[in-house]
Structure 1
């Protein structure tokens, strides 16, 4: 059965339901389902109009953040949390760029728990690490992770916070997840980029993912093994490329990791 082509197609899907723009001033920074906002309106929050207003821009009806966009997004995030419409709360701020803008100017920052509900574009970094003999290091995500617990992943992966750029995010994630320092790795390079656009189960299915993923590859020195530092990894394994390809086909990896590792292995769409 051909598994890779459908997986790639699933990573580029329109929303399940129509969405309307979320603006900061005249800049679109995300999108929301109309009924999702309606759930907040029904709670009759007295100051909601100071945070969010329904407006028209260029003939399109959407929602506009009021005042300073970072402050308004912070208020909105707490409203969503109190209404049970946020994902797991992280106390982590992510950058808010212009909608679907590739590494564009940052308009605001927002709590990570609500980025999917608000259709805000995010960035992530991944690291594919190989042993000198060509086998590939992979990690099993901790069973306590809020997203994809117990599934397998690249050696390192994580979102880029508002405090990070790609380089500092990769450095931080590589230490926290694998206990490795970038200068100790051999042949570190940018391997590729991919963008996923797909519906999300966040906020009762009202979420939408738009994420730009930058993945890197390297070789770990002979005898060096990854050691998790933050408790978010269950264990590591070292797989020969042929065995890795078989396990990718079995669906035990996260979708993002499977797409990245397929690129790393050079698998064609017709791979079975």
Structure 2
């Protein structure tokens, strides 16, 4: 069977396995050579009661040891406490990195040096660098706060921020917003669904040319989820803020643990939004149009056309999951027509095996 023939047979559960493809300390849904790697937890401090904020591959732990040597040789403080001989092997920030500002400054210097030296060129090299800071939280399922939005003296879930492109090197949980722009109508007594689907620009540093959700983007550090969506709607799709604030609603979140083809770790949460185009208004203001160059074009596709392209592997993996969630919520995927319904529903809302970190 050819690759193309195989990809046309992808089921909804197959699509989830492609995106949610990591199991911590156990074989992954689609076994790979990376399953043999021992992932080391990244703690905020050396205490075993400290929050765990990431997972490190062995080659990253080796590099952090080299960074400590580099700092010693240059008369600087070591950044990492590497507890490899302890009963619980782990890596933590050194005690002098005791504030979010100190940790942010240290991580910024480190990531920029890796960028300039092209050490991990395929992840955070000059061509992959995003120049966008992502927040890291002590509790990845807790509140999205920030020093700029919290009263002085209040405790923070926010512990530092770092360059977006380097997050996969440290296995930290990142966050984004994804929205579906769609309409529904009744034809011959049956509901029909159409969704606006963009093609990603060929110049994008990740997944160039793949199909995407109507609007999607990361949540920059310090920006609320909905405001991030308002920004992305204008930048990517020319949808104005007044339309977004009046018609968009938050409908939940999906979560998955993705490992790239090179083995890098990307546990992600995507907050999910809907923009249902009202049937009794002029649809023109709701029609997405490229603006900032990240999208090549938009096409209004029927549900069947969307599913066909999903099963052909043409969508960016996490975008397929958002569409599966949409079809479930609107009642197009049901326990009656999908034998893997419960597996699909529960897998869309995983917790990254966080208790195993």
TM over 0.5: yes
8 Å CA contact retained: 2:10, 2:313? no
Instruction: Name the counterpart of 2:61.
Output: 37
Larger radius of gyration: 2
Instruction: Name the counterpart of 2:214.
Output: 155
Partner residue of 1:113 out of 165, 170, 190: 165
Per the alignment, in what secondary structure is the counterpart of residue 325 of structure 2? helix
Q: Give distance in 2, aligned partners of 1:270 and 1:117.
A: 37
8 Å CA contact retained: 1:97, 1:108? yes
Partner residue of 2:78 out of 42, 47, 50: 50
Q: CA deviation at 1:69?
A: 1.7
TM-score by length of 1: 0.88
Q: CA deviation at 1:83?
A: 4.6
Q: Give distance in 1, aligned partners of 2:242 and 2:276.
A: 11
TM-score by length of 2: 0.68
Q: CA deviation at 1:199?
A: 1.4
Gaps of 5+ in 2: 1-8, 25-33, 145-156, 186-192, 341-357
Gaps of 5+ in 1: none
Matches within 5 A, 1:210-225: 210-220=267-277, 221-224=282-285, 225=287
Q: CA deviation at 1:41?
A: 3.9
Q: Give distance in 1, aligned partners of 2:289 and 2:55.
A: 39
Partner residue of 2:108 out of 74, 83, 92: 74
How many residues align? The count is: 268
8 Å CA contact retained: 2:237, 2:290? yes
Q: Give distance in 1, aligned partners of 2:241 and 2:216.
A: 14
Q: Give distance in 2, aligned partners of 1:161 and 1:58.
A: 36
Q: CA deviation at 1:77?
A: 1.3
Partner residue of 1:236 out of 281, 292, 298: 298
Partner residue of 1:259 out of 313, 321, 329: 321
Q: CA deviation at 1:198?
A: 2.3
Q: Which has the higher strand share?
A: 1
Q: Give distance in 2, aligned partners of 1:174 and 1:6.
A: 30
Instruction: Name the counterpart of 1:191.
Output: 251
Q: Give distance in 2, aligned partners of 1:214 and 1:248.
A: 20
Q: Give distance in 1, aligned partners of 2:106 and 2:83.
A: 16
